[in-house]
Amino acid sequence: MANTIVKKRSLIPGKTSELVIDAPHIASHAKPGNFIILRVSEKGERVPLTIADVDKAAGTITIVYLVLGKTTAMLEELQEGDSILDLCGPLGKPTDIGERGAVICVGGGTGIAAMHHIAKGHHEAGNKVIAIIGARTKDLLLFEDELKTFADEVLVCTDDGSYGRKGLVTDLLVDLLKQDAGVREVVAVGPVPMMAAVSEATRPFGVKTTVSLNAIMVDGIGMCGACRVTVGGQMKFACVDGPEFDGHKVDFTELGARLKAFRPLEAGSLDGYHECQCRSGEGKKAPKKKKALAPRVPMPHQAPEERVKNFKEVALGYTMQLAMEEARRCLQCKKPGCVAGCPVEVPIPQFIEFLAAGHVEHAYKAIKTANSLPAICGRVCPQEIQCEGACILAKKGQPVAIGRLERFVADEYLHRDACDLLRDDAEMACALIDHNKKVACIGSGPSSLTVAGYLASRGCKVTVFEALHEPGGVLVYGIPEFRLPKTKIVQKEIHALKQLEVDFELNSVGGKTFTIQDLFDQGYKSVFLGVGAGLPRFLAIPGENAVGVFSANEYLTRVNLGRAYDFPDYDTPIICGKRVTVYGGGNVAMDAARTALRLGAETVHIVYRRTVDSMPARREEIEHAIEEGVIMECLAQPLKFLVDENDRLRGVSLQKMELGQPDESGRRSPQPIPGEIYELETDLAVIAVGTRANPVLLENEPRLKTNKWGYIEVNEDTCETSIPNVFAGGDIVTGAATVILAAGAGRKAAKEIARRLGIEQ
């Protein structure tokens, strides 16, 4: 059984153990230097551990851990025969092993076990391996006998002299380097201070020095940016650019400070006494709007003073009476602009006409002819610039609340059976599943879910591969609970897919756990890539690696996927700042700002270099943020983050901006006002300025053609990539966009796949 512990060995009683785990998919692809991310319980944190050894024939991997926090304490309680809940990998780039001649491998603490796999790889490549291992005392040494089976020399030292040579590993290392034994490389794995010391010890000798940095991680696939480290003056992500780097270029001081950031919270979680306090804040009232000629029916909401205390959905939804009242505002235009404004061309007048007459079932089936995820799209799509923006009523007053009506219809109908939920042809029943028509979706976001729903309802056997431990992609890790309920909405949509025999393979990383060719070899006829963009962008200003500076991806993933808002009941910690600044003006920035309020922030500023009117976020999200008390710090641009003596964030230096003269397009660009620089006190910063292409899959699939921005190129008519029968859609093709655009791409690809499989003409 996968993830089962087949062997457990106590190395240091109560502190350090070795686990041999049945994980054939990981073992078949794992190489020296790779790591895995595991989760022990449903409420557990995702924890990275380097793979200490692999037995490909047996299909097992070996890990060694030190009991430091709650997750490793729970891991220690597991015994042989028990299963680890989630195991994801292999992750990271493997060790660069070539002809080196002589290599010194230095290990300290549990790093000795991690170094073991790397040293073994060098031995198998024909290099001479000299292993240096050290610990405070003899009883804390690990893997000495294992290293002796292949290393040419194993040298031991202890701090107290209880075994081997008395002293530090760097003392032995320097002695060897002075002997000039033809050493071409030094590899160090262990505590950060040890790796820093090794790097300084080798610097005078000019010997290549490689260190392994399994830093703080949330996802392990480049999505959150939590593991960022400065290497040679450039920001690198340990999980996708590493985990191995040139030790002479690593900023160990900065790394050490970042690694300490969550220790108080983790210690509190282990001891059971820490509890995040959520405070309420007084929300600022949005200015009253002018009364429109034909006002839309208001959406019931939680009051601002109540909703900032919880993560429940803000918008409560229409009742049947309110929905019918709003539906009757529709003019039933002969040439409806709303349909043209919808990326998936939902027949909006038809579903609204059915709803106005009280026929929810017919309204739902009308929507489903075009949209596989109406409950989700009704909540998160930017209707004001799409269907509602093209509504004729918008020219004279307020457009019909199309998104709210779509949400209502979907919510009312979600109790029906799965086939009705997914089939978009009201006159046809779902086909029986044909296991010879296998389709794989990599990623489980809105584009892949759309593909799965469309094809499964037509009889295809669909498997969705997801790198994280929950399906849903950005719907789960990116959008907060108060905007998109996970259990009530997302899980219900996924449950409907499962009822149609769609399989979800979690902790499966495309390009790492398996390749596209592996899927074709297993009999899949087509593959859809819906892996998202993912890799966060930063501001490229001084101080943004300080403790207290987050990417929006990390911040929201900790809170949403890790349920950090319920820490310590859930194990993923989050720093709850009191004076929070968020950088950006999109929906993600609004989500981060409103999340910070719910985590107890006393003040939250959104820093944006243009005006509120220019913000790309949905108007409704901006209004909700202002109602809840978010302060819009507009016409301001960050210059640098200010830190204290412990490298912790204390403030930000801002440049005051003004709008210049309109350019040829009529757009006024922000320009700095000379001399107008000021400081804003902050102890938590969230950077929400967009994402870029995630390289995890792309680097391992060289046949995929990409554009200059690193996104996958596709045929616009079919969504097919440069690899035959491999399709792609969503953010990995367009860059960061909306849920509905991703769903539209999924639908287009699904139609072409169905045509090629002979399901549709």
Nearest to 32, CA basis, from 16, 17, 53:
53
Token look-up 């959520």 returns 278
The closest of 320, 481, 448, 440 to 373, measured between CA atoms, is 448
User: Cβ–Cβ contacts within 10 Å for residue 676, how many?
Assistant: 13
Alpha-carbon dihedral of residues 332, 333, 335, 336, nearest 10 degrees?
Answer: -60
Structure confidence at residue 161 (pLDDT): 92
The mean pLDDT of 209-226, rounded to a whole number, is: 86
What ranges in 636-738 are assigned the alpha helix state H?
Answer: 695-698, 731-734
Q: What is the band of 416 on the pLDDT scale with cuts at 50, 70, 90?
A: low
Q: What is the mean pLDDT of residues 553-577?
A: 92
What does pTM read for this prediction?
0.81
pLDDT of 554 above 60: yes
> How much is the pLDDT for 372?
81
Rounded CA separation 471/477 (Å): 9
CA 255, 261, 265 angle in degrees (round to 5)? 150
Residue 415 confidence class, pLDDT cut points 50, 70, 90: low
Q: What is the pLDDT of residues 425-467, one digit of tens each?
A: 545 556 788 889 999 999 999 999 999 999 998 999 999 999 9
Which pLDDT band holds residue 761 (cuts at 50, 70, 90)? low
Band of residue 291 on the pLDDT scale cut at 50, 70, 90: very low
Contacts of 418-421 with CB under 8 Å at 24 or more apart are 418/495, 418/496, 418/497, 418/498, 418/499, 418/500, 419/457, 419/499, 419/500, 420/364, 420/365, 421/368, 421/493, 421/496
Whether the pLDDT of residue 282 is over 60: the answer is no
Handedness of CA 258, 263, 266, 272 (dihedral sign): negative
Query: Is the CB of residue 401 less than 8 Å from the CB of residue 388?
Result: yes
Structure tokens, 185:
């490389």
The pLDDT confidence band at residue 720, using thresholds 50, 70 and 90, is very high
Residues with Cβ within 8 Å of residue 214, at least 6 apart in sequence: 35, 48, 49, 50, 114, 238, 243
Q: How large a percentage of the chain has pLDDT more than 70?
A: 93
Tokens of 548: 């207290």
User: Which is nearest to 52 in space by CA: 38, 32, 66, 71?
Assistant: 32
Query: Is the confidence at residue 102, as pLDDT, over 70?
Result: yes
Tell me, what's the pLDDT at 420? 58
